[in-house]
Amino acid sequence: MSGAGSPELTVDGTGLTVVIVAGRWHDVITDGLIAGATRVLEASGATYSLVRVPGSFELPVACKVALDNGADAVVALGVIIRGGTPHFEYVSAAATDGLTRVALDAGKPVGFGVLTLDDEQQGLDRAGLPGSKEDKGEEAASAAIATARLLRELASR
Contact (Cβ atoms closer than 8 angstroms) between residue 2 and residue 129: no
87 labelled catalytic: yes
The annotation places the binding site for (2S)-2-hydroxy-3-oxobutyl phosphate at 84-85, 126
The annotation places the binding site at 25, 56-58, 79-81, 84-85, 112, 126
C-alpha–C-alpha distance, residues 157 and 145, integer Å? 19
The residue type found at 134 is E
SS3 83: coil
The annotation places the binding site for 5-amino-6-(D-ribitylamino)uracil at 25, 56-58, 79-81, 112
C-alpha–C-alpha distance, residues 45 and 14, integer Å? 5
C-alpha–C-alpha distance, residues 6 and 14, integer Å? 23
**Residue from 14, 28, 87, 150 carrying the catalytic annotation:** 87
* Residues acting as catalytic residues: 87
